[in-house]
Amino acid sequence: MRHSASHVLAHAILKLYPDTKLGIGPAIDNGFYYDFDFTEPIEEEDLKKIEKEMRKIIKEGLTIEQIFMSRKNAIDYYQKTDQTYKLELLEEIPGEELSFFVTGDNEFADLCRGPHISNTKEIGAIKLTKTAGAYWRGDETKKMLTRIYGTAFETKEELEKYLKDQEELEKRNHRKLGKQLELFTIIPEVGQGLPIWLPRGYVMRRILEEYMLELEREAGYEHILTPHINKEILFQTSGHLQFYKDSMYAPITVEDETYYLKPMNCPAAMMVYKMTPKSYRELPYKLGELGTVYRYEKSGELHGLQRVRGFTQNDAHLFCTPEQLESVLNETLDLLDIFYKDVGFTNYKFRLSLSSKTEKQEKYAGDPEKWEFAENALRKVLIDRGLEFEEMPGDAAFYGPKIDIQAVNVFGKEDSVSTMQLDFNLPEKFQITYIDSEGKEKQPYVIHRALIGSFERFFSFLIEHHGGDFPLWFTPEQVCIIPISEKQNEYASGVFKKLKDAKLRVKLDIRNKSMQARIRDAEKMKIPYIIVVGDKEIDTETISVRARSNKEEGLMKVQEFIDNLREEIRTKETFTNNI
């Protein structure tokens, strides 16, 4: 139905804008889109007019039938209508008989494999939602087309529910909230896909960094920090230049030596392991790093903090014996459980990303038998823990299979957040060994794992999951103190000092604005607790506390308030935001 709606969209466009060139128009999750090359730009306001034309076509009840054209006739058809993009697509489709779907009495025909419904009346409730720029074939060297997005549901009620959910999602959009809450920004002069953490966002990041470092230290990790650029030989050895070069930046030549911005932290971690001989008694050897990496993403694929070109991973490389493999994997999943609970994620899914049995083996490094062992090891751990998981053939990294964790937000939207990858290739490539109990050299297994994944992508999900109402323990400002007038400034300053001395993140707002305006500003910044101080509070040596969502806590002593907040921080209680 949605695929057919995309054809109706193209049909309507040609009725309204006859000189438009057509790109492609597939169905996607919950909707469809079509790419167009307009002679004159269209605006968002034009969508209503296009939608109206679509509804007329749907109401007419036009048939949608599949026909087959010879290649020659197809070329003639698109040459007559000057549909250059369709002619380009024809060149890539094999065979002499080409599938078209015709709407009505030859009113509109489009090159397509289908499937489609048989009559436009079978299309339910439709809505065009937005426009966007999209490079033809996703290639930034080609022309930017206009992509029109829409959705269709069988009933009006289903459509209205979907649109309402989308409105709620938009309120949680991490780019919108990131700007409102002054958490991060992307400045064109600095570079696309290179986010800047603003003071409030950086406070949160540092809290999460320290939390993760402490969690890992307690689990026996040691931490390193490796340079942003590494010599070419490192990536030749690791295989990245063979398997991953398209996602790497161009080389840098310095004094006749070639360097690359690192796309991964693992090659340097391998070299750190090699610095001293290791005994089996020293394994598992757990090496953590908050390492910044750089990967080339096409500009059309960049998206806020979710898809960036420079990001910091909560990385770790765990070197272990075959006998230790299962326990190390389980310990890693235990840490994941603790971490997700503490940040308020309770709904997440597991994916087992495997090699493809049909694609060329050249896509993957290493012995197929080792691949099978590694895939079985990951599968066993998931099964033994009673976890539901989806197997994804073809999604493995080039050096080994992995477990990907998909965190699911309140609207069911999924994002890949954490990963655990089992690697038997890098130990071989870097000649990494340990001495076993019989004095023989053996190669360890390496588990690459990133519990947070990248701070940037994780942060985008965190913002949307909580709608900006973060748990108290890592929100940038925990308390805002607002005196009613200048007369209470001195008392408010004393309260401020007590909270500051208690190691709470507190702000004193004594700006020359009305009390209500200052309260609105604090609510806009989603500060969990607002303290209002007036004459009554001074007389009773108390504070008036307002919790988020305007819940009045009433008067209380400062120490009581401090104790309450300390307990909320200790338990890492999560606030439920229903926006």
Residues taking part in catalysis: 266, 295, 313, 315, 317, 402, 448
Give CA–CA dist 443/453, Å, rounded. Answer: 26
Strands of 295-425 (E only): list them. 310-320, 348-354, 389-393, 402-408, 414-423
- Alpha carbon separation from 413 to 67, 347, 461 (Å, rounded): 38, 11, 10
User: Is the separation of the CB atoms in 308 and 195 below 8 Å?
Assistant: yes
Phi, psi of 98 (to 5 degrees): -115, 135
Q: What residue spans of 240-296 are helical by DSSP H?
A: 240-243, 266-273
Between β-strands 64-70 and 97-103, what pairing exists: parallel, antiparallel or unpaired?
A: antiparallel
User: Is the separation of the CB atoms in 205 and 459 below 8 Å?
Assistant: yes
State the residue for tokens 């060329």: 360
Between β-strands 184-185 and 196-197, what pairing exists: parallel, antiparallel or unpaired?
A: antiparallel
Give CA–CA dist 37/138, Å, rounded. Answer: 14
Instruction: Give the three-state DSSP class for 68.
Output: strand
Burial tier of 250 (Cβ tally within 10 Å: 0-12, 13-18, 19+)? exposed
Nearest to 350 by CA among 306, 385, 319, 316: 385
State the residue for tokens 């996703």: 138
Give CA–CA dist 326/547, Å, rounded. Answer: 45
Give CA–CA dist 537/506, Å, rounded. Answer: 18
Number of other residues whose CB lies within 10 A of the CB of residue 279: 11
Which distant-in-sequence residues (6+ apart) come within 8 Å of 227 by Cβ? Answer: 262, 268
- Alpha carbon separation from 276 to 230, 266, 526 (Å, rounded): 21, 17, 50
Give CA–CA dist 29/334, Å, rounded. Answer: 33
Give CA–CA dist 51/126, Å, rounded. Answer: 8
- Alpha carbon separation from 515 to 483, 519, 520, 534 (Å, rounded): 7, 6, 9, 11
Give CA–CA dist 502/474, Å, rounded. Answer: 16
DSSP class per residue in 156-173? HHHHHHHHHHHHHHHHT-
Write out the two tokens for 205: 């990041």
By 3-state DSSP, what share of the chain in percent is helix, strand and coil, each rounded to 5?
40, 30, 30
Number of other residues whose CB lies within 10 A of the CB of residue 398: 16
Write out the two tokens for 411: 């609207």
State the residue for tokens 């290639």: 139
